[in-house]
Structure 1
Amino acid sequence: MSRRRGRSRASGILRLIARLVLSGFLVYTGLSHLFWGRRGFRIAVPDWAVRQTRLDKDAIVVSSGAVELALGAALVVLPKERARVGGLVAAFFVAVFPGNVHQWLTGRPAPMMRTDMSRFGRLFLQPVLVAWALWSTS
């Protein structure tokens, strides 16, 4: 096996592992939006999101959880659509970013986001998640 092919294979394996971990992360967070973290996530939904979507906070939390579950599953079960799904996952992470900024600015707690430092740090995680989604599905 050539060195180039070996690197390509290793890169493919790393991307597969990254995709599977990202899928698990999305499924876990989707389930948390639907069940054990649901109340906490309602607290973090900005009022402007309710006005913009004309949905109540619970509906926003449930729908975002359902989207996370669908995207997490799609990363695994739609290998031929990998790049498109990766783009959708990245777009989802971008779409929820304003809510993360709002949560940091207002100091509203959410599951695993009880301190100002954790809310601030979450802002820097978002671009990493976008890059992760795009890289692992390219």
Structure 2
Amino acid sequence: MKEEDIKTTARIILGAGLIFAGISHLTFARKEFQAQVPDFVPLKKDDTVVYSGFVEIAMGSAVVFTPKKQRDTVGKIAAAFFTAVFPGNLSQLVNHRDAFGLDSDKKRFGRLFFQPVLVWWALKSTSKKGN
């Protein structure tokens, strides 16, 4: 498999994952996502979950469907988004909030290491050839 095919597959999987996560924010996992909203966010937790769900659907769609010329920019925006929501994962750990099967501090701590993978994935799968 060529490098470009791998990047395309990775980009589509990432985008589909974002779309799925966004839909889950609005439907079946809405309560679970509220556990990740830090207390310092000035909006109601449910409103934050709904708004972030819309953002994830839009971002996932952009990751999948943006023309090649703009993919690098979209990847950087997605990476920034994954960085911006990281405090939610920290909040879940420090406040000992159970959600998504993360029912121990050990599991919640382990989840922190997945966020940098998402940042890397967003950047790598959308980068211009050779990057």
Q: TM-score, normalised by structure 2?
A: 0.90
Question: Aligned residue for 2:15?
Answer: 23
**2:7/2:126 contact within 8 Å kept:** yes
CA drift of 1:66 comes to 0.8
Question: Aligned residue for 2:96?
Answer: 107
C-alpha distance in 2 between matches for 1:43 and 1:137: 30
Q: Does 1:35 align with 2:27?
A: yes
Q: Unaligned regions of 5+ residues in structure 2, if any?
A: none
Question: Aligned residue for 1:6?
Answer: none
Percentage of identical aligned residues = 49
C-alpha distance in 2 between matches for 1:82 and 1:48: 32
Structure 1 residue ranges, 4+ long, deviating more than 3 angstroms after superposition: none
The residue type equivalent to 2:40 in the other structure is W
Question: Aligned residue for 1:82?
Answer: 71
Aligned-residue RMSD, C-alpha: 1.3
C-alpha distance in 2 between matches for 1:11 and 1:121: 30
**2:11/2:63 contact within 8 Å kept:** yes
Secondary structure of residue in 2 paired with 1:84 = helix
Q: Unaligned regions of 5+ residues in structure 1, if any?
A: 1-8
C-alpha distance in 2 between matches for 1:23 and 1:112: 23
CA drift of 1:112 comes to 3.5
The residue type equivalent to 2:89 in the other structure is N
Q: How many positions carry a matched residue from both structures?
A: 126
C-alpha distance in 1 between matches for 2:15 and 2:102: 21
Q: Which structure shows the bigger proportion of residues in helix conformation?
A: 1
**1:93/1:129 contact within 8 Å kept:** yes
Cα separation, partners in 2 of 1:82 and 1:44, compared to 1, 3 Å: same
The residue type equivalent to 1:102 in the other structure is S
String of CA shifts for 1:35-93, please: whole Å, max 9, x gaps.
0010121233121113xxxx211110011111111010001211231111101100000
**2:82/2:118 contact within 8 Å kept:** yes
CA drift of 1:104 comes to 0.8
Q: Does 1:66 align with 2:58?
A: no
Q: Which has the larger radius of gyration?
A: 1
